Structure 1
Amino acid sequence: MNLYQAVKVSGSEESLGRGFMIVLNDRIASGIWTTKQNVDAMNTFRAFEQGYLGTIMNDEIEYYYPPTRPNGFHYFNISNVTEASQIPEVIILYSYQGLNPNLVKVAIKQLGAKGIVLAGSGAGSWSNSGEIKNKEMYESIIFQLFTRRTMAGSVPKDDVPDYGIASEFINPQKARILLQLSL
């Protein structure tokens, strides 16, 4: 049924202008806001606070609102990228108690990272020693995108140091891809 519904949604004129979508279990969700939440559950994909775009009821597509583009999202033309090596290295570092802040240095100097996604606790917060390394990283012209470890929530601009970029509602994995495309 999922495959049938996905084909039906992708072929519908009502689906134009909505970006990439995930169609599963009678739900239509934006690929930007959808996250896999459980490795064992059949209904694992969820669109948390941002919600779903629509549903399929009695074999009819029902969208909740007209097409719109999410705020702050740009379209990237990657048709000229032929090899993964053409995409800049961006590392995700997850904060935890006792994290060695020198991992930042390793990511830059040994792994050649051009950007780092910092998945912090709460609204993207880091320890004081981590903040010092992050500031050093900024001075090395390494782009830093602050995000959260939790499944949902926001990292607002006001909670991020001046040298960082707030991911707002984007999870670390999607933030990494966006930073790679932006660089």
Structure 2
Amino acid sequence: MLKSLTTLSLLVATSVGLPTRHSKRSDRNAGLTWISKDSSLPKIVLYNTGDGTILAGSPNGRLDTTNYGGPIGGLTPETLIESAREVLDIAQIAVVNITTEGSGGAGSVNADPDRFLSISMDAHKRLCSEGSDIVGAVMVHGTNTLADTAFGVDLTLNCSKPFVATGAMRPNSALSADGPFNFYDAVRTAIHPEARDRGAMVALNDHLVSAFYATKTNGNTVSTFVAPDKGYIAQFMSGQPYFFYSPALPKARNYFGPFKLALPLPKGFDADLLYAAAKDGTRGIVIMGAGPGALSDAAIKAAEDLHNQGVVTVASFRPYFGLAVPTPQTEKIISSGVLRGENARIQLQLALGAGYDFDGIQKLFGDDVRTAIYNEATAFFNGKML
């Protein structure tokens, strides 16, 4: 389950303006290195999952908010802190790197389903142990599965100290990246006395949401994480949270001790289901992907295999709103465009019944979206235009 849990050692600063670091070691926090300007400031742990838009860049320029990823323009946890260096005016930060088998680089869709347990177990030791001087924790995570991980942490971390998840909807390289301010808001929440006794929380787009109720409602825009019917916990103004209510926990929230769990955990996406459906005569499959239709590596491989057998696979989006944006180049998996999973299934069924081939079905689902996005103004994608 816990594939790898390591603390990151930090390089000695050589640039003017970088913070001074102070090392402080103890049994429960062995190996932590504090990034700090002032050793009297409150301490928080930063859990880095290693994936997500908040750490991503794009080789395509500042307008790219759909096809980013890769090493160009990306951030490490340390350079994320530098990009929001005001956090060091309010807190000391120690980075804990969480890596599990299947971590997905710039996307969180490949994250192991038990990732939250790795984080909860470590947070219990560092935050919740008697005498701990760490006041809270922040987790940076890819938004496609951020709500899943934060919910799992909420059910397995029984501590009064704040645990705040954050991410971004625009990459670091974008014209108006949202990650640095989201990160600052999360740190400010983690050290705020009014943030205690509320369970895990999600901080994005100037709002704070209970992780128990949070859901990603839009696959593309920054105004995505909300708690339908339940509302926000707080709103951020100039980096300061205004809490709407006194501390409280959701009535339906339960707790499961992470060190006592013995239940078998799912292995993630089961590609055997796709192969079985094709063997049974299925001609078309719709997969409701994470976020704006993102598929795991296992799902992509299976869909490409089935494409060679004449089976059409459509990837749709999970949130309530948004688009499954096609890639610049035509591929073996069709993006559903504006249609969510249930509607994409009906259109695919009708298209197959009407005799459309793969290319025709691809145009039905994504031609209008592709035409709108990939034009002379976005020639930096250098993709094949339909």
User: Which TM bucket (shorter chain)?
Assistant: 0.3 to 0.5
- Return the structure number with greater strand share: 1
Larger RCO: 1 or 2 (CA < 8 Å, sep 6+):
1
TM-score for the superposition, normalised by structure 1: 0.44
